[in-house]
Structure 1
Amino acid sequence: MDLKDAVAVVTGANRGLGRHLAVRLVERGAKVYGAARRPETVDSPGVIPLRLDLTDEDSVRTAARIAFDATLLVNNAGISTGAPLVAGDLDSVRLEMETNFFGPLLMTRAFAPVIETNGGGAVLNVLSVLSWLHPAGLGSYAAAKAAAWALSDASRQELAPRNITVSALHVGYMDTDMAAGVPAGQKVSPADVAEEALVGIETGLHEILADTVTQQVRQSLSHLPNQA
């Protein structure tokens, strides 16, 4: 996909990886809607603030009406509560599934017709190495990201006839607020990850593996058939 003159909607564009993705897209010549619950926090030059609550279907539908010219959807926004699945607070588990799985699903359902009407384009889902590794202490996050991996693979096949490609970005720890407690040496730069993600979209990669740990974990999995 040629990102010059693309029209992108980036969720969670007010900070972290989402902010870097929005900035890099503007630099490539794209029109960018930066979506956040508090649009006043989206302050990157050239990025159009867009009010969005991923857990609210009305908010998602409204965003799709406003960004009617979109050709690229970046499902970046997410949360990590740190809740284990068995002993953790069930409301926290539900919140992670609502935000990290149902949110991207709602966005994809709302924006697929928009992108198709505009001649086709792409969807990028920001996932994690924990799509494949499932530590007990982060059970709810891992379960939600595993579900989002399934969403990426299934929707890729479903949307291909509509001229919409779907890419999944997998990454370990990034130097963002979510990983504030992780030692610096174990984290990668979100600016570098954003660049790799956009190159992946441009070249049509189905899976974008943004760091060495993620690449090693992916190689250790049993062979999976190519998802066309």
Structure 2
Amino acid sequence: MSRINGKAALVTGANRGIGRAFVAGLLKAGAAKVYATARNPQTLDDLVKEGNGKVVALALDVTRPDMIAEAARNADVALLVNNAGIAAFEGLISAKSSEPAREEMETNYFGLLNMVRAFAPVLARNGGGAIINLSSIAGQVNFPALGSYSVSKAAVHSLTQGIRAELSGQGTQVLGVYPGPVDTDMAANLPMDKTPPSAVVDNILQALEAGEESVYPDPASQELHGGLLADPLAVERQVGQMLPG
């Protein structure tokens, strides 16, 4: 049974990058309705217009539990895509303060945790459904140029494992996603080859439909994942040369 075709989905951080690509990809895969969320829903006007009645814009700041609760009351979905995230591009020691790390954890980890807690009962009412969590390959090996971001995404990886176990009883598929550099505004200043968001989303949705629990949706993440399996310390030394600057 498809996790997408004929189903309703909600995408956080849908106003740009991978989030926008998710909205398009879900519609292409036959989603009946996509709730596209952003802090400013006006940034979603074009998605709503192009969605031919299948895209509903919702105001949502994932650091606001009250807004999350409101979204869970209004969006009856079988698929939750936890995409919203921020990156400070700071080191752990070289940052001027720990505040950027705190902000990343509030959005990337606590925001995602609160989304899952709010929507787990919704998914249960819809037969279990599925959750897609956007972590990062940087959550499996710390990139010093993204030191605190890497820590927040490592927390997402562990959270994904935990909720997969807790929600297995209600039949919820939980897919952890570990992309490398993707061609988005967030990664604009990273001097790396980047994969288009649409290609990343296509690979993620294929993994979802195949019933997989983790996916490395681009060549860079696949290469690093292979290296981590073979010699994790060698990969750590390799990415450790990318110091914050």
TM-score, normalising length: structure 2 = 0.87
Match of 1:17 in 2: 18
Is the counterpart of residue 156 in structure 1 residue 164 in structure 2? yes
User: Following TM superposition, where does structure 1 have runs of at least 4 consecutive aligned residues deviating by more than 2 angstroms?
Assistant: 219-223
Aligned-residue sequence identity (percent) comes to: 43
Classify the secondary structure of the residue corresponding to 2:30: coil
Deviations 1:174-194 (A, max 9, x none): 1100111134x6101101001
Q: What does residue range 76-87 of structure 1 map to in structure 2 within 5 Å? A: 76-87=83-94
Structure 1 partner of 2:34: 32
Q: For residue 128 of structure 1, what is the aligned residue in structure 2?
A: 136
The DSSP-based 3-state class of the residue aligned with 1:4 is: coil
Number of the residue aligned with 1:220: 227
Unaligned runs of 5+ in 1: 224-228
Task: Answer yes or no: is 1:178 the counterpart of 2:179.
Answer: no
In structure 1, give the amino acid aligned to 2:43.
T
Is the 2:181–2:220 contact (alpha carbons within 8 Å) kept by the matching residues of 1?
no
Deviations 1:31-88 (A, max 9, x none): 1000100011112122210110110111110110110x21000000111011222332
Q: Please give the alpha-carbon distance, in whole angstroms, between the structure 2 residues aligned to 1:155 and 1:131.
A: 17
* TM-score w.r.t. length of structure 1: 0.93
Q: One-letter code of the match for 1:52?
A: L
Q: Which structure would you say has the larger Rg?
A: 2
Q: Which runs of 5+ in 2 are unaligned?
A: 231-245
The 1-side partners of 2:140 and 2:89 are apart by: 17
RMSD: 1.4
Q: Give CA deviations for 1:89-147 in whole Å, capped at 9, x if unaligned.
A: 22211000011111111100000000101221100001111011212231110000000
Instruction: Give matches, 1:31-110, under 5 Å.
Output: 31-42=33-44, 43-44=46-47, 45-46=50-51, 47-67=55-75, 69-88=76-95, 89-110=97-118
**CA distance in structure 2 between the aligned counterparts of 1:189 and 1:218, rounded to whole angstroms:** 19
